[in-house]
Structure 1
Amino acid sequence: MVAARRLSDMDLSLFELRGKSALVTGASMGLGRACATALAMTGANVAVLDIDESSAVKTVEKLRSRGVDSFFVHCDVSNKAQVRAAVAAVVARFGRLDIAINNAGFGIPVGGSENLAQEEWNRVIGINLTGVFLCAQAEAQQMINQEPTQGKIINIASMYGSVAGGNCAYNAAKAGVIHLTKTLAAEWGRFNINVNCISPSWVMTRRMMHLSEEVRSRMRAVTPMGHIQRPEDMFGPVIFLASQASNFVTGHDLLVDGGHTVNTWLSPLERTLAPRVTPEEEIFDTAQDADDP
């Protein structure tokens, strides 16, 4: 019998991204900035694609402080010409594209689907689903034509791609991202391109700070891990899917939701131990700056 390898014997260079070239859409703040930070933490050079230049510049500065190269590229992911120009700009700067995280997206306030305007539906689908496809297509074309032919594409979906809650257009778009991911993984595996997605829960970004303590308490009560997700809870999943450690993982939807979707909770969950993260620590976000909008 072969003895189990000790942790000390493991080659942790599997998670090393030094010298890799990456792009992240919607990376100026929040979840996108957390994804970009995770890549930079392990040595990747990261292009910040966004429509918000002022916030993106701050992200670029934070990434460069980690000793990697970073720059801003203006990109509306729903615009095919801008997407292709952005990918070209990344390759011109870094020489190739190894990792792409398609995070750009947005939600709209919850409302009855019977009153949802078609214009709003089109806008949500256009950015959250069509935008992911346009980005993935352009990224894959670059990865196919470079030497060596390979790459990692990570799409950001949502737990609402698997369960119903919130806005119907957003849910439909995120469910589409999950199945799009599986389809592209099946098609592009022959090019040594891994396509996976991450489905986060409610994430305590600055845009979530308006939520009342009552709402936050209800979120904690139906989450087995007992706290609201923070952007930095994405670091590990992003590094795993972007690195060699996930070379045999493709077409996977990685739920990062603290267990929220594993059941439908009729009553608040009981805890034996205090959660790893306190309510106060939920808003301590290492991926954000105090001067962010």
Structure 2
Amino acid sequence: MTEGLLEGKVAIVTGASSGIGRATALRIAEEGGKVVVADVLADKGKETVEMVVENGGTGFFVETDVSDSEDVREMVRKTVDEYNRLDCAFNNAGIFGDMKPVAKYDEEDFSRILDVNIKGVFLCMKYEIQQMLEQDGGSIVNTSSVWGLVGGEDSSAYIASKHGVIGVTKAAALENADTNIRVNAVCPGVVETAMVEAIPDEISEALIAKEPIGRAGKPEEIAEAVVWLLSDRASFVTGETHVVDGGFTIS
């Protein structure tokens, strides 16, 4: 029997209550990894764990607000208490926010999005890397977006945060290049998630129409890329911005 890509490895997945996070948690378990499901949505997060277990995997849930340093520290501590180590992390938690031009954007809303989307990634990496430095290394993937590579209207906070994810990913990758800790980012295009479903239909339809592949992506398609980046198959890949967008950014 072929060994899974993440056989015996311990992985944290934030934002794992649905969408890309849930799909990735399930794939990690399918590839032999133990999964720590982290999210602010307890019921949905526990549902993800139930799905992991029903499919023969192993995991548990930790209620975590990634913008809160104590929550993130506790997330890592509980992982190590349960499994004695942390090998992989998919820092995926994120929010979209209001669609307004810069001149009308609320300052508190702007700060809230940056707190979750970029400060949250920073905090997760801070405590994940501290643990990985005590071991023999590890692998981290952060969720950016195609909007971390291009501009757009009426989404300045989200776009700024996703550009920031790419920046902090590259910085952490360089800082840890000689420590056997790899850090990469994945940039999904338009994907069938609750976040995209919340966008007005005319906007989401226009975005999908710009996809050369002719459709929105599926969470499972992003999960495949994340699992590969987390695995030893990607052992020479760090600081990479891995685009999975159906050709969106080249059209």
TM-score, normalised by the number of residues in structure 1: 0.81
Q: 1:190 aligns to what SS in structure 2? A: coil
The separation in 1 between residues aligned to 2:16 and 2:194, in whole angstroms, is 14
Pairing 1:70–2:70 present: no
Alignment gaps of 5+ in structure 1: 1-11, 264-293
Superposition map of 1:98-137 within 5 A: 98-137=87-126
Task: Select 2:17's aligned residue among 18, 25, 28.
Answer: 28
Would the aligned equivalents of 2:20 and 2:223 in 1 still touch at CA under 8 Å? no
Alignment gaps of 5+ in structure 2: none
1:249 aligned partner, one-letter code? V
Would the aligned equivalents of 2:49 and 2:60 in 1 still touch at CA under 8 Å? yes
Could you tell me which residue of structure 2 aligns to residue 158 of structure 1? 145
Asked which structure has the greater CA Rg, the reply is: 1
Could you tell me which residue of structure 1 aligns to residue 6 of structure 2? 17
**1:220 Cα offset (Å):** 3.5
1:118 aligned partner, one-letter code? E
Q: 1:124 aligns to what SS in structure 2? A: helix
- Judged with a 3 Å threshold, the aligned counterparts in structure 2 of structure 1 residues 202 and 192 are, in CA distance, closer, same or farther, namely same
Task: Select 2:131's aligned residue among 98, 118, 142.
Answer: 142
**1:65 Cα offset (Å):** 1.6
The separation in 2 between residues aligned to 1:210 and 1:108, in whole angstroms, is 10
The separation in 2 between residues aligned to 1:182 and 1:175, in whole angstroms, is 11
- Judged with a 3 Å threshold, the aligned counterparts in structure 2 of structure 1 residues 76 and 44 are, in CA distance, closer, same or farther, namely same
1:117 aligned partner, one-letter code? D
Superposition map of 1:246-265 within 5 A: 246-263=234-251
- Judged with a 3 Å threshold, the aligned counterparts in structure 2 of structure 1 residues 127 and 214 are, in CA distance, closer, same or farther, namely closer
1:60 aligned partner, one-letter code? V
1:150 aligned partner, one-letter code? G
1:18 aligned partner, one-letter code? E
**1:39 Cα offset (Å):** 0.8
- Judged with a 3 Å threshold, the aligned counterparts in structure 2 of structure 1 residues 117 and 215 are, in CA distance, closer, same or farther, namely closer
Superposition map of 1:1-293 within 5 A: 16-146=5-135, 149-165=136-152, 166-209=154-197, 215=203, 217-263=205-251
Percent identical residues: 39
- How many residues align? The count is 250
The runs of at least 4 consecutive aligned structure 1 residues that moved more than 2 Å come to: 12-15, 206-221
